[in-house]
């Protein structure tokens, strides 16, 4: 089944404790992207990647890192999480940037 | 001004009604637009792509008006299962995607 898989689905952590949210797609898509969704603000793009080793900032990249060492994986790294990073995170992938994205099921992160 | 703006609603309509949503965008260089559907606490799912010539898929029709910088989504013969939040998305330069905050639709029996 074609899909985007994120892990974990739910995570509660403490301020400052580094964490990684994994994202993997099995559709051989070139484009991958991370979003956060907050009430009233909609989805905002954090980072995106056009191909292996090619990444760029979205609208809200501060406090996040990404890497794209393999085509299928695009992990999101929070080096020092803070409470304002409490949010619902989605990973997504696409054949190219001009086509719609397929989204993962989301990761609900709470930073206390 | 937000780059992509939508009326948050909610739109409350009876089954069988026709409902239309509009979405305005501010970046005239935006090339591609999409409508997504999102059910509560779930991931967005692509509903339709929108191109200059418009797009129709069954009960759903999407139109793009570049002169006025808005796109629209028309749903005919609404079903209970159409109840969801509808997200308008624009693709800006460099493949950045800009989402609207969404329009909530409730279809009632």
pLDDT at res. A97: 66
* Tens digit of each residue's pLDDT, chain A (112 residues): 889 999 999 999 999 999 999 999 999 999 999 999 998 888 999 999 999 999 999 999 999 999 999 999 999 999 999 999 999 999 999 987 677 899 999 999 999 9
In A, residues 4-43, which contact B (CB 8 Å cutoff)? Answer: 31, 33, 35, 40-43
Shortest CA gap A40–chain B (Å):
6
Give the bridge partners for B32, in sequence order.
Answer: B91
Residue in A with minimal Cα distance to B102 = A42
CA gap B49, B66 in Å, rounded? 15
The tens digit of pLDDT for each residue in A32-63 reads 999 999 988 889 999 999 999 999 999 999 99
pLDDT at res. B85: 96
pLDDT at res. A40: 82
Where are the extended beta strands (E) located within chain A? 4-7, 10-13, 19-25, 31-38, 42-51, 54-57, 65-66, 76-78, 87-94, 102-103, 107-111
CA gap B89, B16 in Å, rounded? 26
* Tens digit of each residue's pLDDT, chain B (109 residues): 678 899 888 999 999 999 999 999 987 777 789 999 999 989 999 999 887 788 899 999 999 988 889 899 999 999 999 999 999 998 876 578 889 999 999 999 9
In this structure, is the dihedral angle defined by the CA atoms of residues B66, B70, B71 and B77, taken in order, positive or negative? negative
Q: If we measure between CA atoms, which residue out of A93, A108, A112 comes closest to residue A9?
A: A108
Shortest CA gap A42–chain B (Å):
4
pLDDT at res. B26: 87
Lookup: tokens for A97: 């940037």
The tens digit of pLDDT for each residue in B64-82 reads 988 889 899 999 999 999 9
CA gap B83, B9 in Å, rounded? 12
Q: What values do phi and psi take at A12, rounded to 5?
A: -115, 125
CB distance A60 to A3 below 8 Å: no
- Residues on chain A touching B49 (C-beta within 8 angstroms): 99-100
Longest dimension (CA), chain B: 44
CB-based contact A45 B97, cutoff 8 Å: yes
CA gap A84, A88 in Å, rounded? 12
CB-based contact A48 B36, cutoff 8 Å: no
């Amino acid at each position: 089944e074609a899909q985007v898989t994120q892990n974990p689905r739910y995570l509660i952590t403490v301020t400052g404790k580094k964490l990684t949210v994994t994202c993997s797609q099995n559709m051989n898509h070139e484009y991958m992207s991370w979003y956060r969704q907050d009430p009233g603000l909609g989805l905002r793009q954090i980072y995106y990647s056009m191909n292996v080793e090619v990444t760029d900032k979205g609208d809200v990249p501060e406090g996040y890192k990404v890497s794209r060492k393999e085509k299928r994986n695009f992990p999101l790294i929070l080096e020092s999480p803070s409470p304002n990073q409490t949010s619902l995170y989605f990973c997504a992938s696409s054949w190219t940037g001009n086509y719609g994205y397929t989204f993962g099921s989301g990761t609900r992160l709470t930073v206390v | 001004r937000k780059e992509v703006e939508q009326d948050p609603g909610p739109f409350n309509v009876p089954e069988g009604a026709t409902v239309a949503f509009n979405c305005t965008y501010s970046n005239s260089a935006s090339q591609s637009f999409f409508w997504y559907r999102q059910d509560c606490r779930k991931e967005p799912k692509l509903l339709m792509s929108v191109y200059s010539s418009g797009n129709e898929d069954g009960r759903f029709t999407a139109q793009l008006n570049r002169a006025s910088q808005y796109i629209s989504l028309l749903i005919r013969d609404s079903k209970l299962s159409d109840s969801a939040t509808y997200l308008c998305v624009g693709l800006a330069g460099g493949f950045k995607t800009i989402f609207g905050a969404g329009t909530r639709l409730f279809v009632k029996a």
